[in-house]
Amino acid sequence: MTRFDIAVVGAGLLGRCLAWRASRAGARVVLYDAGGHQGENSAAWVAAGMIAPTTEAIDANAEIVSMGKHSLSLWPRWLAELPEPVFYRNNGTLLLWHREDAGEAVRAQRKFATQQLPIEQIDSARTREFEPALGTRFPEGLYVPNEAQLDNRAFLKVASIALAEAGVESHWETFVQDGALLDAGIVVDCRGMGARRNWAKLRGVRGEIVRLHAPEIELRHMLRLLHPRCPVYIVPRAEGKLVVGATSIESDDRSPASVRGVLELLTSAYSVLPALAEARILEFNTQVRPALPDNLPSLHFDHERKVLHINGLYRHGFLLTPTIVEEALEVLFSEGRWTSRWPCLDASRPVEPSGDIHSSREMQACLSS
């Protein structure tokens, strides 16, 4: 008799959310992850936790925007069901640009208009009203209402507590080799870059972030600078902390942040908020995010092996995870017989994973800590 209904391999943001929601839906779930319970080795650890579907429309396609909007509606409900509060704010995003980059603002507005997305053009007075810390540096801007962000690291930590409360059997610091036996009816592979051997076209996209402490700067909104090369974002956190990022480097290099990357981030952020000159640097960090050629996520169910493969969240982890989890649960509870409202998440569409993680019917146990 199968002990577990579902075995989830990989407990980054997606894996731990899927295990949590599947258990709450009544499944018996076991979870394996090579890292610790705080998720410090996951791509989600080095993130800004932004849920900004309209802003993402500048560079992403309509499918990402649509999935992101749905996630934005799900996040408050999920957070309300956690055992501890997690910092969350949905005041929206301010898009800003320097005079020489006005073309980027025109490009963004065209993208928004094409998808009929809600934005508000604001003048200098309204910009200062939204964010007094900006002063008179920007004569105009764009306001995107209702976009949100949450504390990524706090969420990963509290989610691990929620897993225990939901009855998920979690095996932290446990590496699952390709071909390992997992005593479950269905296996879900959420390993991200850890599954690279099984996805021929999976690539790494390196991200670099800086965390600052600037208690004298009180930001109410997320800020994004429209720039052709370094579209930096500044995301306020509780207790005067800020997350600064933007880099998407085509590389699977996991080494520490480069001097060039940090200089570009800080110089761009300083051009938005000169008061950052007195901020204290808390951390430089990097991570590599899994991406497929079209930069869209993929959800594929292998009927023969009873394995659900999910990968390719690119830099949209927090933006897309609730939607993908919701779709994955439909696949799992319908045993793969499901057609998604989003084409990239159609579990029946052909993709390339080789399915080297197998169910308990096929392979012998091969777990190593």
Helix (H) and strand (E) counts in the chain: 8, 19
Averages of pLDDT over each 10 residues, the chain, 369 residues: 84 98 97 95 95 96 96 98 98 97 96 94 95 94 98 98 97 85 89 91 94 96 95 96 90 91 94 96 95 95 90 97 96 77 81 55 33
Tell which of 240, 266, 291 closes a domain: 291
For residue 197, the model assigns a pLDDT of: 87
Residue 366, φ and ψ in degrees, nearest 5: -150, 65
Residue 101 covered by a domain: yes
Residues 6+ apart with CB under 8 A from 196: 202, 204, 290
Query: Phi-psi bin for 255: left (phi > 0), alpha (psi -120 to 50), beta?
Result: beta
For residue 115, the model assigns a pLDDT of: 92
Residues 6+ apart with CB under 8 A from 146: 72, 90, 92
Q: Are 118 and 255 within one domain?
A: yes
For residue 305, the model assigns a pLDDT of: 87
Taking a C-beta distance cutoff of 8 angstroms, is the pair 39, 46 a contact? Answer: no
For residue 359, the model assigns a pLDDT of: 45
For residue 335, the model assigns a pLDDT of: 66
Question: How far is it, in rounded angstroms, from Cα 94 to Cα 190?
Answer: 33
Tell which of 268, 291, 314 closes a domain: 291
Q: Are 189 and 209 within one domain?
A: no
- CATH number of the domain residue 232 falls in: 3.30.9.10
Question: How far is it, in rounded angstroms, from Cα 309 to Cα 306?
Answer: 10
Q: Are 352 and 230 within one domain?
A: no
Q: Are 213 and 362 within one domain?
A: no
Q: Are 163 and 18 within one domain?
A: yes
Q: Are 124 and 158 within one domain?
A: no
Residue 241 covered by a domain: yes
Sheet with 29-32, strands from edge to edge, namely 169-171, 29-32, 4-9, 184-189, 307-311, 298-302
For residue 364, the model assigns a pLDDT of: 29
- Residue 253 burial (10 A CB sphere; 0-12, 13-18, 19+): exposed
For residue 304, the model assigns a pLDDT of: 87
For residue 339, the model assigns a pLDDT of: 76
Question: How far is it, in rounded angstroms, from Cα 369 to Cα 367?
Answer: 7
Question: How far is it, in rounded angstroms, from Cα 131 to Cα 368?
Answer: 52
Q: What would the two tokens of residue 267 be?
A: 């110089």
Q: Are 140 and 214 within one domain?
A: yes
- CATH number of the domain residue 14 falls in: 3.50.50.60
Question: How far is it, in rounded angstroms, from Cα 76 to Cα 81?
Answer: 9
Q: Are 135 and 216 within one domain?
A: yes
Question: How far is it, in rounded angstroms, from Cα 337 to Cα 35?
Answer: 32
For 23-41, letters b (16+ CB in 10 Å) and e give bbeebbbbbbbbbebebeb
Query: Identity (one letter) of the amino acid at 333?
Result: F
For residue 368, the model assigns a pLDDT of: 33
Q: Where are the alpha helices (DSSP H) in the chain?
A: 13-24, 53-56, 62-80, 102-114, 124-130, 152-165, 259-272, 317-333
Domain that holds residue 341: 4-45+152-199+293-368
Residue 275, φ and ψ in degrees, nearest 5: -65, -15
For residue 298, the model assigns a pLDDT of: 95
Residue 32 covered by a domain: yes
Number of domains into which the chain is organized: 2
